[in-house]
Amino acid sequence: GQNIDQPTEMTATEGAIVQINCTYQTSGFNGLFWYQQHAGEAPTFLSYNVLDGLEEKGRFSSFLSRSKGYSYLLLKELQMKDSASYLCAVRDLGEGGGNKLTFGTGTQLKVEL
Amino acid sequence: GAGVSQSPSNKVTEKGKDVELRCDPISGHTALYWYRQSLGQGLEFLIYFQGNSAPDKSGLPSDRFSAERTGGSVSTLTIQRTQQEDSAVYLCASSATSGSLETQYFGPGTRLLVL
């Protein structure tokens, strides 16, 4: 089965750095994705990791350790608009070769002044 | 071109009625996925299409749920005899292929409320 855990809520200050952790126990693994979802909107792709290590994309970085079943999303220079839910998702090969995503429940980040 | 679009944005129905939810994927995307997001729950995989065929239906919760895709483009998710527990946001995603490096892009979802 699939089990993905991430904190329910986090609060951080504008301009600061925040790290959102995700741990997973899955029967298969073909990459880990991070999505951002503002209330009432579609999840938007942020980053993905297939191999161990750090991937950096501007203010966002994501880290993966496959041996530990662990990832984190790092957000730097926080802005008010970063207040959103951050979804951790593990990709696995499904039946017929499709890449199905299994999501955690999301971490609601609140950025304060 | 445009992103993934879904219609209707919101749907309120009575228990026992049938509903149809529509997804228009990004033009040229061959892979299409349906997910469901219930309150307080993570997104839950429902079904995957490659072209017009659905090789993975493993996430459909019951035989009241079905989906089809025509012309390798538009997909319709049908829920028959709706129940209150079907209330959720139904999200559609598409990707260029089903290859291992492909990213899924999501539509805005249809918010379904079953009274």
Q: Are A97 and A30 in contact (CB under 8 A)?
A: no
Average pLDDT value for residue range A41-67: 93
- Would you give the DSSP letter of residue B42? -
Say whether pLDDT at A31 is over 70: yes
Lowest mean pLDDT of A19-23, A107-111, B51-55, B72-76, name the range: B51-55
Q: What is the pLDDT of residue B55?
A: 86
Give A76's pLDDT tier (boundaries 50, 70, 90).
very high
Give B72's pLDDT tier (boundaries 50, 70, 90).
confident
From the list B98, B104, B108, the residue facing A97 with the nearest CB is: B98
**Cβ neighbourhood burial of B88 (10 Å; 0-12, 13-18, 19+):** buried
Give B40's pLDDT tier (boundaries 50, 70, 90).
confident
CB–CB contact A102 B45 (8 Å): yes
CA B56 to each of CA A15, A20, A77, B43: distance values in angstroms, whole numbers, following the listed order: 44, 31, 41, 17
Q: What is the pLDDT of residue B48?
A: 92
Give B99's pLDDT tier (boundaries 50, 70, 90).
low
Q: Which residues of A touch B24 (CB under 8 A)?
A: none
